[in-house]
A and B are shown apart, each in its own frame.
Chain A
Amino acid sequence: MPFRHLLLSLACFIVFSCKNETTPAPSKATSQRPDPHSLADPFNDKMLELQLKLKVDFDKKILSGSASWSFDRKEKTNEIIFDTDNLTNRKSDPWERRNPNHLYARTP
């Protein structure tokens, strides 16, 4: 099933990634979350398999590539949350230059 493709500013994403060291948001830990150390929802969103494709770049000290997840969800909403920290988009990818958004979802 195709999804509506909304444009989101790439610049905005970079600002978030770069600014975060200096302007930490208040802790989001709430009493509702069953695991206080995840911003995701491990009890609703059951991850099944991870496929990592990563290139190791010792000069830049980065890994770049993709992570694909297959999953089951109890409550099937229009949104899923993942934990990230200091991850950024992949600007150098030729495909990326043609497509400012770098997140894709697919239904098999």
Chain B
Amino acid sequence: MTLGKEETPTTFTLEPRDSILGSALRIKLSPNTNYLTIHYSTLPEAAALGWMDASMTAGKKRPFLFTQGQAILSRTWFPCVDSPSSRFTYAAEIETPDGMMALMSAKNPQQVSPDGMYKFEMDKPVPPYLVALAVGDISFQPIGKRTGIYAEPSMLKKAAWEFADMEKMVETAEGLYGPYDWGRYDVLVLPTGFPFGGMENPILTFATPTVITGDRSLVSLVAHELAHSWSGNLVTNATWDDFWMNEGFTVYFERRIMEALYGAEYVEMLAQLEFWELEDEVRAFGEKNPDTHLKGNLKGRNPDDGVGDIAYQKGASFLLMLERLTDRNKWDEFLKNWFQANKFTSKTTEDFLAYLKTDYLEKHGLTANVDEWVYGPGIPANCPRPNSTKLAIAEKAATNIVNAIPATKEWTPHEWVHFVRNLPKKTTVETLKKLDSQFNLTNSGNAEIRCAWYDTAIRRGYVKEILPQVEEFLVGIGRRRFLMPVYTALKETGHVEDARRIFTKAKPGYHAVSYGSIEQLLK
């Protein structure tokens, strides 16, 4: 490090740590100071940093690092004004060990740098939670002219096959909501320890390897993260209480992309599955619980508490309800204008509602119970309810399992998941074994199926026989969405000792986000 001669030492105080918000760093400066430098190191326990040993990667040779800034973790890897309402451009110089590639949410290299030095530039203003870094044994493969895949070498071909439709997705999205403003759109497939499904880091989506199923059944994740290039990244929630504006819009938009590419029936099925999850969540909260309001109230709480089906699914349902008030073209025009008028800014719920009132509802002479949706609990009576015929058939097959094993191999993984979840509580171990031997559910390549199957099987007493595969699954993945149901099922059926033993073995591969949730569950 060399310091310019103008750099003048100053003083600072670091306040005691708040368990949620961290420590305020107070720096003395003069009224006209407009530039300062902070020299620092992170600590190994920094929550944003996922340090993975070589054993936790696909290649097993080199370690891997990824960052996860959302919601308020960026402050654990660089000092910042850590609010989604703060936006800035950034440049970075990253020094890595030889032979490793560094990538950021910025213009990226496509080849390994011979000296381990990388320079990055993000020339659009982004909030702190969207500054991201990954370092590892990474290779690149193009998909289209502005899309491509980064992954560990052994994952690259599989990932490129899985996401072959990326370029078409970007074109479809642009058709709906205006130009893609970020230059390239690439996806980085992370090692197994990544705790989330995906993270919409601009230019470079971070994706869980569990979407590489070999059957292209989970590409909606890419549609979702791509959709964030508009909702979330272009126009950002001003505070985490406005989180539904990031996620509700994105789920709505994801379904529009999927509908354009794969048809309405397929999307109805995805929407139906997720709507049931919303109903479950509302039931779990209680229908009058303020945590079921779209507008959050997370003051004094960890903003990750607001991550759930309310923001995603109730948010998307709200927008679908609004769409159906008139014809789709008017709604699409309104949304396109919202994004274009507010691009590269952060907005509150109230900003959006004011725009909605003048530029959509009043403009077209429409009325809607907006306040009930946004500031009221539960699911309003005028909520659009998906109705998927395909899932109804799978459900019927499940309830009829006592009489007949279904004779299908044509089902999509979504139908399988629904079938598995609806197997009656009294389904015998013998029947489960028969199903397993016919359809090999215990060893499915699809993590959604495995997770649902293990949850169902464990709760119906089919545990001992499949425990080695359950263990392999829990050790081999790090995504919280799949870990929690299986650990919970083990705990609630008297297998907490097995759960603890597996957790002890698996936890070096888990990111802090997954680790914390499971440790809490099993303590």
A11 at the interface (CB under 8 A from B): no
| B85, A43: Cβ atoms closer than 8 Å | yes
Enumerate chain B residues within 8 angstroms of A41, measured Cβ to Cβ: 81
| A86, B46: Cβ atoms closer than 8 Å | yes
Enumerate chain B residues within 8 angstroms of A105, measured Cβ to Cβ: 7-8, 10, 27-30, 33, 35-37
> B13-21, B152-160, B416-424: which lies at the A interface?
B13-21
Q: Interface on A for B, CB 8 Å cutoff? A: 1-3, 5-8, 13, 16-17, 19-21, 23-29, 31, 34-43, 45-56, 58, 60-73, 76-91, 93, 95-96, 99, 101-108
Chain B residue nearest to A39 (CB atoms) is B24
| B8, A28: Cβ atoms closer than 8 Å | no
B427 at the interface (CB under 8 A from A): no
Take A6-B11, A48-B88 as given contacts and tell me if A87 and B27 are in contact as well, using a CB distance cutoff of 8 Å.
no
Take A48-B89, A61-B49 as given contacts and tell me if A103 and B22 are in contact as well, using a CB distance cutoff of 8 Å.
no
B403 at the interface (CB under 8 A from A): no
What is the CA–CA distance of A85 and B76 in the complex, to the nearest angstrom? 5
Sampled A-B contacts (20; CB under 8 Å): A6-B11, A8-B11, A24-B17, A35-B238, A36-B300, A37-B20, A38-B72, A38-B82, A42-B85, A50-B88, A58-B65, A61-B44, A66-B1, A84-B79, A85-B47, A87-B42, A87-B75, A87-B79, A103-B37, A105-B37
Extra contacts besides A70-B35, A85-B46 (15): CB < 8 Å: A3-B28, A19-B17, A21-B45, A38-B72, A40-B83, A41-B81, A47-B81, A52-B93, A52-B94, A64-B42, A68-B37, A76-B31, A84-B24, A85-B17, A102-B39
What is the CA–CA distance of A35 and B303 in the complex, to the nearest angstrom? 11
What is the CA–CA distance of A64 and B1 in the complex, to the nearest angstrom? 11
| A108, B18: Cβ atoms closer than 8 Å | no
Enumerate chain A residues within 8 angstroms of B87, measured Cβ to Cβ: 47
What is the CA–CA distance of A41 and B24 in the complex, to the nearest angstrom? 11
What is the CA–CA distance of A25 and B228 in the complex, to the nearest angstrom? 35
What is the CA–CA distance of A47 and B83 in the complex, to the nearest angstrom? 11
What is the CA–CA distance of A99 and B9 in the complex, to the nearest angstrom? 9
B97 at the interface (CB under 8 A from A): yes
Chain B residue nearest to A45 (CB atoms) is B81
Q: Give chain B nearest CB distance to A14 CB in angstroms.
A: 10
Enumerate chain A residues within 8 angstroms of B86, measured Cβ to Cβ: 38, 40, 42, 46-47
B43 at the interface (CB under 8 A from A): yes
Q: Give chain B nearest CB distance to A61 CB in angstroms.
A: 4
Take A37-B240, A89-B39, A105-B10 as given contacts and tell me if A95 and B300 are in contact as well, using a CB distance cutoff of 8 Å.
no
| B26, A79: Cβ atoms closer than 8 Å | yes
The residue in B83, B92, B298 that gathers the most chain A C-beta atoms within 10 A of its C-beta is B83
| A50, B21: Cβ atoms closer than 8 Å | no
| B9, A104: Cβ atoms closer than 8 Å | yes
Question: How many contacting A-B pairs (Cβ < 8 A)?
Answer: 349
| B44, A62: Cβ atoms closer than 8 Å | yes
Choose among A23, A34, A69 the residue that contacts B16 (Cβ–Cβ < 8 A): A23
B329 at the interface (CB under 8 A from A): no
What is the CA–CA distance of A73 and B27 in the complex, to the nearest angstrom? 14
Take A2-B8, A61-B44, A82-B79 as given contacts and tell me if A27 and B33 are in contact as well, using a CB distance cutoff of 8 Å.
no
What is the CA–CA distance of A91 and B40 in the complex, to the nearest angstrom? 9
Chain B residue nearest to A78 (CB atoms) is B28
What is the CA–CA distance of A104 and B238 in the complex, to the nearest angstrom? 30
Chain B residue nearest to A20 (CB atoms) is B17
Enumerate chain B residues within 8 angstroms of A101, measured Cβ to Cβ: 9-12
B190 at the interface (CB under 8 A from A): no
Enumerate chain A residues within 8 angstroms of B43, measured Cβ to Cβ: 17, 62, 86-88
The residue in B63, B81, B88, B95 that gathers the most chain A C-beta atoms within 10 A of its C-beta is B81
Choose among A27, A77, A91 the residue that contacts B18 (Cβ–Cβ < 8 A): A27
Enumerate chain A residues within 8 angstroms of B102, measured Cβ to Cβ: 56
| A40, B81: Cβ atoms closer than 8 Å | yes
Choose among B38, B77, B84, B88 the residue that contacts A47 (Cβ–Cβ < 8 A): B88
Chain A residue nearest to B85 (CB atoms) is A42
Take A29-B300, A51-B90, A67-B40 as given contacts and tell me if A86 and B3 are in contact as well, using a CB distance cutoff of 8 Å.
no
The B272-307 residues at the A interface (CB cut-off 8 A) are 298-300, 303
| B81, A58: Cβ atoms closer than 8 Å | no
What is the CA–CA distance of A28 and B285 in the complex, to the nearest angstrom? 27
Enumerate chain B residues within 8 angstroms of A60, measured Cβ to Cβ: 44
What is the CA–CA distance of A101 and B3 in the complex, to the nearest angstrom? 14
What is the CA–CA distance of A84 and B303 in the complex, to the nearest angstrom? 16
Enumerate chain A residues within 8 angstroms of B11, measured Cβ to Cβ: 5-8, 101, 103
